[in-house]
């Protein structure tokens, strides 16, 4: 690849940063939805006890706030990327994330990456 700080033979620092952002956004969204379900189950199983109901409502409230922050961060990242000419959200597809992760892990573990179709063209 031309330009950029090369981390491995096929991936530069921008690819790795894109991967980290994509994984963080996906993980935050999944955890938010998970905690909404946990709060809902806690609310159902509270048995009318005031302290358990408050705790369940707080769990649901903060999970929803986390989900809103995650959605807003995706929007802000897209706007900043557009302003500076980067496609920072290009890796938010499961196929691209798994392809890049497989290549990077193979490179780290074995010292040589397997031939991954389309690697290095993820931006």
Give the tens place of pLDDT for each residue, 40-94.
999 999 988 999 999 999 999 999 999 999 889 888 888 888 888 877 666 666 6
Is there a contact between 10 and 113 (Cβ–Cβ < 8 Å)? Answer: yes
In order of 66, 90, 114, the CA distances from 121 in angstroms are 32, 10, 16
For the entire predicted model, the pTM comes to: 0.62
Give the tens place of pLDDT for each residue, 4-36.
444 556 667 777 777 787 788 888 988 999 999
Angle between helices 50-84 and 13-44 (to 10 degrees): 160
pLDDT at 121: 47
Please provide the DSSP assignment of 21-67 as one string: HHHHHHHHHHHHHHHHHHHHHHHHTTTT-HHHHHHHHHHHHHHHHHH
């Amino acid at each position: 690849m031309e330009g950029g700080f090369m981390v491995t033979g096929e991936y530069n620092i921008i690819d790795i940063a894109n991967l980290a952002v994509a994984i963080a956004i996906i993980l935050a969204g999944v955890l938010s939805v998970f905690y909404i379900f946990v709060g809902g189950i806690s609310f159902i199983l509270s048995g009318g006890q005031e302290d358990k109901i408050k705790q369940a409502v707080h769990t649901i409230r903060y999970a929803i706030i986390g989900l809103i922050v995650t959605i807003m961060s995706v929007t802000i990242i897209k706007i900043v990327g557009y302003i500076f000419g980067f496609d920072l959200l290009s890796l938010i597809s499961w196929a691209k994330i798994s392809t890049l992760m497989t290549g990077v892990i193979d490179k780290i573990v074995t010292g040589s990456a397997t031939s991954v179709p389309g690697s290095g063209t993820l931006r």
